[in-house]
Structure 1
Amino acid sequence: MAAAKATSGADNGDSSCRDTGGGAGGEANSVANCAAGGRVYSLDDLDTVATVGTGTFGRVFLVKDKKAKGYFALKAMKIPEVIRLKQEQHVHNEKAVLTEVNHPFLIRLFWTHHDERFLYMLMEYIAGGELFSYLRNRGRFNNSTGLFYSAEIVCAIEYLHSKEIVYRDLKPENILLDSEGHIKLTDFGFAKKLSDRTWTLCGTPEYLAPEVIQSKGHGRAVDWWALGVLIFEMLSGYPPFFDDNPFGIYQKILAGKLDFPRHLDFHVKDLIKKFLVIDRARRLGNMKNGAEDVKKHRWFKSIDWDAVPQRKLKPPIIPKVSHEGDTSNFDVYPEDEWTKEAPVPPKDLEIFKNF
C-alpha cells in the first residue's frame, strides 16, 4: 500500500485553471478537467508504464503522455469498491482540496475523469519514492535530517491550515521525495475543508490524535499532533505509541506517556512533548499564534523560514533518479488483470457526475 499512498495525492498548480470557478467546492468540472496550459487530457493520450502503488480500492500507475512525452501518476479507483467502503465523500473531498491548493510541498493534480468503472486522477509523478523507504533503510534519521523534513512539513501544514484545510494523514508513507530531495505531501483522501470541527474517524492508528479516538470532534490540531508523532518516528525509528492491535495503540495514546530514546536532542524532546499534548487548546501550533509558535521553537532556531518554501534548504538525501520516468524507488507490483471490473449502474454513477 505504501507506494499507492505515495503518488496518489495532488495539487492543481495552474492558477488560471483554478480561477475559472468552483473554488473550495471543487465541483466545477472545468476546474478539475483543466490542466497546465489549459489542456484537457484523455485516457487515450496516456500509455501505462508500470504500477507504482496499490491500495484498498485503487492503483497508481506511472503513465507517459503520448503527445508531450512527459510522465504522470494516474490514480485509478474502482467505483464499486469506493461505494462499498463508503468512501464517496473522501474522494470528493480529495478532488476539492487538490483543486484549490498550490504549494511547492504539495503534489499537483492536473485532471480528473470517470468512466463506468473507475475514477481517475492525473497527478505529477514524483520519482524519488516515499520518505518511509529511506527511513526504513536507515533505521532512523539524525537530528539535522529530521530537522530538514520537519521544516518543510511545517510550511506545508501552515499553508493548508491557512486555507482551512485539515490534512489528517501525515505519516512517512505519504511524504514523497522529488528528484532533488525536497518533500511532496501526497494522498489527500482524508483531507477536508473545515468550517468548524469534524467527527469522522480516519487516519492511521499510530498517528491519531486523542480527540479523534474519543470522537470529541476534531480540527486542525490533529495535524500538529501527527507531526509530533512523525518527528519522534523519524529520529527514533519507531512511533511513540505502538502495540500489536489498534485498541492497545489507542490506550497508549490516551495515556500519553512518552519514553524517549536517550540519543534525542533536548530541544526536539521539548518540541515533541508540546505537540503531543492531550488538551488540544494547549497543543503547540493550535494556539492563537498558530504555526508561528512552532517556527519559533528552539529546535528550529537554525532554520531560515523564508528560504524553506523557496526550496533553498539543502536536502540531506538526494534520491537516485536516472530519468523522469524512473520507477526504481518504488516497489514492484504484478501487472494483473486489475481492469476487469463490471460497469457500474447509472444510479451509482450519478454520485460521481461532477468528478
Structure 2
Amino acid sequence: MKSENSLALSRSKSKVLRTTQSYQPYHKATIEDYDLIKVLGKGCMGKVFLSRERHSNKLYALKAISKEWVVFRHEVEHTKTERDILASISTISHPFLIRLREAYQDINQLFLVLDYYPGGDIATQLAKWHKFDDARCLFYATEIILGIEELHRLGIVYRDLKPENILIGRDGHIVLTDFGLSKQFRPNWQKTNTFCGTAEYLAPEIIRGEEYSYPVDWWSLGTLLYEMMTGVTPYWDSDQNKMYRRVLEDKLAFPEDMMFEAMDLLRGLLQRDPTLRLGCGPSGTMEIRGHMYFEYVNWDDVYHKRTRPTYIPTIDHETDLQNFDDTFVSMTPKLSIPKQDLDSGVQQYFIGYSFSERLPTRSPSSSQFRSELSRRSITSSLAGIPSHGSRSSITLPGFEREDYEYNDVIFSGISCSNTIQTIPSDDISEYELDQHHHYSKRHTMMLGDNNMKYSSSSVLDRRGNYTSVFPT
C-alpha cells in the first residue's frame, strides 16, 4: 500500500512538474529586449527604428516617443488616442491596417512595437515613378478601401490618408499606418469640427470649418487616387490659401488619357457636398465597391490577399533599406537623451499605456490618462482658410497638423501662405530635413487680432514648394 501511495504521489508531482514547465508567464517588454539596427524615420517627438527582438530574432518597427516632448507640446491626449486606436485595430488583425505588437514605457520614453514593412511607403514610390499605371492604381485602391472601411466600422475617422501613411510589405500588399490625427467616435456616428489633416488632402467641409465625420476620408481617397493616376493632387497650388480656394471653387479637371471609369469614380469621391459623396449614402462603402471602376474586382480575393500585386519591392536581404530615405537611414540608431528627469507628477499621465497582443486588451481610462495641461490655440479665418492677421476666427486645437523641427526648437502648426520659393545654394546649411521630407527654417511672424508673436518656419515639402507654419 505504501508503495502504491508513493507511486501516486510521484505521478502527482510529475503532473505538477509538467504543468509548471509548460506554463510561460507573460514577460513585460523593455527596451533591453530589442536591438536598434537603423533609423527608419524621425519626428519632433521621437524616432522610428528598425529593431530586432532578441528573444524571437524577428524584425519590428520600434517607435520611441519622448515623454518630455509629449508633455511639453501638450500631446498627452493625442498620444493616448494613437495608442488606443492601434490597440483596437490589433485585436482584429485586419490585413490592411498596421498591427501593434507591444506598447511599453520607461522613465523617459514611450515605445510602440509595430510590424515592419520593408517596401517603404507610397510617397517614396511616387517620388521615383511620378505616377502609377492603371493596374497599380486599381490594386492599391482596393486594399486602401477595405482598410478605411474597417476603420469606419470601428468608429474611427482616419483624417490623414496620404502617400506617406501607406506602407508596402515585402509581398507588395499595403497597410495604413499613423493614426495620430485619427478620432474614435463613441457612439459610432458623431461629428467633430477640429481643423486637422494634411493640407493637400483636406475635405471642403474641414476647410470651411464645418462639422464633419467619416466622409472626409473618402474625399482624401479621391485626392490620393488622383495623385497616383496623374502625379499631382487635383487642386494643387504652391500657395496654400489658393489651393484651399481651388478645393472650394474650381472645376475638377482630368488628363485627356484618363479612363472614363476612373474619372467617374473621382467625380463621385471628390463631391464637395459630403451628403452626395460616393460612399456616404445609405449603402455606405458598397457604393464605392459597386462602382464600374471596380467591375472586375473580387473583393473577397482582395481581403484574403489572393490578388497578385502589380509591384513587388526590391529587397536584397533581411535588413535591406533601399526603399527608405537615406537621410534617416544614415543616422546613428540611438534614443534621445532627455534634458531633465521627469517627476512623478508627469509620469502619472502615462499610467495604463502598456499593451501586449499576448494579454487581454485594456484601454487606459480617460481619468488615468488625461492631460491636465491646457491646450493653447491660435485663430485663423477666411471661411476656415488659415491666413496671416485675420480678424474673424476659428480655434485650431494645439495638436493639429504636421510637426516641424529646426535644431532644438519644435513647431506644430497649420500651414499658411507661401513666403519663399527657392533655397539659395549657399544657404542650404540653415535648413534641416524632418520626418515629412520637409526642410525648415525658423523665423517669427505677427498674427491675430492682438499681434501676438509666434515662432514660425518656412517649409519645403516633397514637391519643392514652400509654406509657412506657426505653432499652436
What TM-score results when the alignment is normalised by the length of structure 2? 0.65
1:297 to 272, 291, 295: 291
Partner amino acid, structure 1, of 2:235: F
Q: Distance in 2 between matches of 1:229 and 1:38?
A: 45
Report which of the two has the higher share of strand.
2
Q: Distance in 2 between matches of 1:111 and 1:42?
A: 10
User: What residue in structure 1 maps to residue 172 of structure 2?
Assistant: 181
In 2, are the aligned partners of 1:256 and 1:276 still within 8 Å (CA)?
Answer: no
User: After TM superposition, which residue ranges in structure 1, 4 or more long, deviate above 3 angstroms?
Assistant: 37-40
User: What residue in structure 2 maps to residue 127 of structure 1?
Assistant: 118
In 1, are the aligned partners of 2:64 and 2:335 still within 8 Å (CA)?
Answer: no
Q: Secondary structure at the match of 1:187?
A: coil
Q: Secondary structure at the match of 2:303?
A: coil
User: What residue in structure 2 maps to residue 156 of structure 1?
Assistant: 147
Deviation for aligned residue 1:250: 1.5
In 1, are the aligned partners of 2:49 and 2:333 still within 8 Å (CA)?
Answer: no
Q: Distance in 2 between matches of 1:141 and 1:212?
A: 28
Q: Distance in 1 between matches of 2:320 and 2:272?
A: 43
Specify the structure having the higher radius of gyration (Cα).
2
Deviations, residues 152-184 of structure 1 (Å, cap 9, x unaligned): 111111111111111111111110110010001
User: What residue in structure 2 maps to residue 339 of structure 1?
Assistant: 336
1:217 to 195, 211, 232: 211
User: What residue in structure 1 maps to residue 58 of structure 2?
Assistant: 70
User: What residue in structure 1 maps to residue 157 of structure 2?
Assistant: 166
Alignment pair present for 1:251 and 2:245: yes
Flag the structure with more relative contact order, 1 or 2, with Cα contacts below 8 A and sequence separation at least 6.
1
Aligned length: 319
User: What residue in structure 1 maps to residue 233 of structure 2?
Assistant: 239
Partner amino acid, structure 1, of 2:336: T
Q: Distance in 2 between matches of 1:348 and 1:227?
A: 39
User: What residue in structure 2 maps to residue 92 of structure 1?
Assistant: 80
Report which of the two has the higher share of helix.
1
CA RMSD of aligned residues (A): 1.7
Q: Distance in 2 between matches of 1:230 and 1:252?
A: 16
Deviations, residues 4-51 of structure 1 (Å, cap 9, x unaligned): xxxxxxxxxxxxxxxxxxxxxxxxxxxxxxxxx965422111010000
Deviation for aligned residue 1:249: 2.0
Alignment of 1:1-355 (within 5 A): 40-101=28-89, 102-194=93-185, 195=187, 196-332=190-326, 333=328, 334-335=331-332, 339-342=336-339, 343-355=341-353
In 2, are the aligned partners of 1:79 and 1:118 still within 8 Å (CA)?
Answer: yes
The gaps in structure 1 that reach 5 residues or longer are: 1-36
Cα distance change on mapping 1:216 and 1:299 into 2, 3 Å: same
Deviations, residues 66-90 of structure 1 (Å, cap 9, x unaligned): 1111111111112232233332222
Q: Distance in 2 between matches of 1:345 and 1:265?
A: 60
Cα distance change on mapping 1:123 and 1:138 into 2, 3 Å: same
The gaps in structure 2 that reach 5 residues or longer are: 1-24, 354-472
Deviation for aligned residue 1:202: 1.6
Partner amino acid, structure 1, of 2:338: E
Cα distance change on mapping 1:80 and 1:199 into 2, 3 Å: farther
Q: Distance in 2 between matches of 1:256 and 1:112?
A: 45
User: What residue in structure 1 maps to residue 406 of structure 2?
Assistant: none
In 1, are the aligned partners of 2:262 and 2:293 still within 8 Å (CA)?
Answer: yes
Q: Distance in 2 between matches of 1:128 and 1:172?
A: 13
Q: Distance in 2 between matches of 1:340 and 1:152?
A: 39
Cα distance change on mapping 1:112 and 1:338 into 2, 3 Å: closer
Q: Distance in 1 between matches of 2:232 and 2:115?
A: 30
User: What residue in structure 2 maps to residue 25 of structure 1?
Assistant: none
Deviations, residues 300-342 of structure 1 (Å, cap 9, x unaligned): 1111111111011110110112334332211122227751213
Q: Distance in 2 between matches of 1:126 and 1:114?
A: 23
Identity across aligned pairs (percent)? 36
